[in-house]
Each structure stands twice: as structure tokens, then as C-alpha cells.
Amino acid sequence: MRCQPTHDNPVYIWLKNAQSCLLCDEPSDSPQALCSACEAELPWLGSHCRICALPLATMGLICGACLRKPPAFERVEAAWRYDFPLDSLITRFKHQAQWPLGRLLGELLSHHLQHAFSEGLTRPDLLLPVPLSSRRLRQRGFNQAGMLARWLSQSLQLTLNEHLLQRRQDTPAQQQLSAAQRRRNLRQAFELAPDGQVKGLHLAVVDDVLTTGATAESIARLLRKAGAARVDVYCLARTPKPGD
Ligand SMILES: [Zn+2]
Ligand SMILES: [Zn+2]
């Protein structure tokens, strides 16, 4: 029909290409603020553990740790390996409050999840961001997992609950601790909101990076204990095994 807008007129194309790449500052040749050359250089997650997304040499396997002790979560969905230059992009988002960068990473993670849903991954009933301790929240001013979860909720039309998962106490910053200390520390770190109801639900916990998986495990255990039917974890990046 004549009255339908045509999508190939110059103004439309100009609008589509008006963004510049957030990484190299050149005009972007894609609808995102990321050029295809920079996109190709990101450390996309290749073959990985079917449960915890740990990078592995072969596709379709389960890693030794998950075989020895199956985690309380069903599976981890991550777009990238936590590697250069993605590590510095996440740091800029988290510690320098570069939100457009976070938004871009969130958008790409949402494409990744959209693809996973189309390949048969079950859509969750609820998205739950990993809460920050109140001390951390005061320092940083925002919860990066909460922002990611909000963007995912909008673009994937998934329900979000930012208050169901809560921090019980201020725990020391996790980065400086050994794996054993982290686990001990985390066992008591989270709780459900008093009116929180998760019975029979399929939940997806959202975080920026999955490192040892201790946080995800502690939250998944809490949720499964409260009756959740299934817990998945969605994150931007998965840390490779040290030394890999
Ligand atoms: Zn670029
Ligand atoms: Zn694994």
C-alpha cells in the first residue's frame, strides 16, 4: 500500500547509522553502538560446561566440578568469557558508572538469551538480580545486576522482582577471599523478602560475572529450599578456570 512507510529512504538509513562505536569511536555499521569489527573481537563464550558455562575445550560436556557435585542451579547462560577486553568494559560499567556501556552489554546479552530461548531454553517466570550489600550500594550508588535485570526484563518481556532476594548482612568484598572463605561467607548472606513466594516457580538470577559460582550456588540453594522448581543464572561473562 502507498501509505505504508518505506524503510529504505535516506533519512531512515541515516538514523540507523548515526551511532558511533562505544569501543573505538568510529561510526557504527550496525544498529548498536558497537561496530562489527569490535563485536567480532569480543571474547564470545565458545564451548563450555552445559551446567556452569565454564569454558571447556570440547562442546556439550559437563565440567569436573559439576560432575562431582551438581550445583543447585540448572544452568548458567553467559554471553562471554571474562577476558580482555570485556573485563575492562565491565569494570568501566561497574566502577566508573559508564551506563551506556552497561546498556550495550545488556542488549547483547538479551540477544544471546533470545537466541537461547529460540533454541529451546525455557523462559523463566521471574528475573531476580543478585542484591548488593547496603554498604556496597552506598559506595557505588547503583546495583549493576539490578540494571542488567531491568534491561533484560524490558527487552525480553520477562517479569522482574528486585526485592524478593535480599542481603542479610554486609559481607566483606568477595574479590579478596579464597573460594572456601567465599562459601562460608555466602552461606548466610542472602534471604527472601518476608512476603517472598517462589514455590513452583522457574527463576533466573541475574549477575554481571560468574566467577567461582559460589554466589549463584548460595542463592540457588536458598530458592530451591523455598520451593522454586528451577533456578537458572544469566550473566554477562563467565570466568575461565585459573590458568586456562
Ligand atoms: Zn568499534
Ligand atoms: Zn560446570
Q: How far is the centre of ligand 1, averaged over its atoms, from the C-alpha of 238 (Å)?
A: 23
pLDDT tens per residue across all 244 residues of the chain: 455 555 555 454 555 556 899 889 999 888 888 999 999 999 999 999 999 999 999 988 999 999 999 999 999 999 999 999 999 999 999 989 899 999 999 999 999 999 999 999 999 999 999 999 888 888 888 999 999 999 999 999 999 999 999 998 665 666 677 777 776 777 778 999 998 899 999 999 999 999 989 999 999 999 999 999 999 999 999 999 876 6
Question: What pTM, to 2 d.p., does this model score?
Answer: 0.87
Which-ligand-closest: CA of 21? 1
Tell me the domain boundaries of the chain.
1-41, 44-238
Q: What is the DSSP-derived secondary structure letter of residue 19?
A: -
240 in Cβ contact with 87 (< 8 Å):
no
Q: How far is the centre of ligand 2, averaged over its atoms, from the C-alpha of 52 (Å)?
A: 4
Q: How far is the centre of ligand 2, averaged over its atoms, from the C-alpha of 213 (Å)?
A: 9
CB within 8 A of 210, min separation 6: which ones?
52, 53, 76, 78, 216, 233, 235, 237, 238, 239
Q: How far is the centre of ligand 2, averaged over its atoms, from the C-alpha of 18 (Å)?
A: 41
Cell of 56: 571447556
Which-ligand-closest: CA of 73? 2
Q: What is the DSSP-derived secondary structure letter of residue 82?
A: S
Q: How far is the centre of ligand 1, averaged over its atoms, from the C-alpha of 108 (Å)?
A: 15
DSSP secondary structure string, 21-57?
A: -TTT-SBPSSSSSS-HHHHHHS-B--SB-TTT--B-S
75 in Cβ contact with 232 (< 8 Å):
yes
Name residue 192's beta-bridge partners: 165
Q: How far is the centre of ligand 1, averaged over its atoms, from the C-alpha of 159 (Å)?
A: 33
Name the nearest CA neighbour of 23 among 113, 94, 93, 116. 93
Q: How far is the centre of ligand 1, averaged over its atoms, from the C-alpha of 35 (Å)?
A: 4
Predicted local distance difference test score (pLDDT) of residue 143: 94
Q: How far is the centre of ligand 2, averaged over its atoms, from the C-alpha of 70 (Å)?
A: 8
Which-ligand-closest: CA of 35? 1
Q: Return d(Cα 16, Cα 112) in angstroms, integer.
A: 21
Cis, bond preceding 124 (omega within 30 deg of 0): no
Q: How far is the centre of ligand 1, averaged over its atoms, from the C-alpha of 24 (Å)?
A: 4
Predicted local distance difference test score (pLDDT) of residue 241: 83
Which top CATH class is 44-238?
alpha beta
CA distances to 12, 13, 15, 32, 158 from 6, in Å: 9, 11, 14, 21, 31
Cell of 141: 550508588
CA distances to 2, 12, 14, 127, 231 from 5, in Å: 8, 10, 16, 37, 44
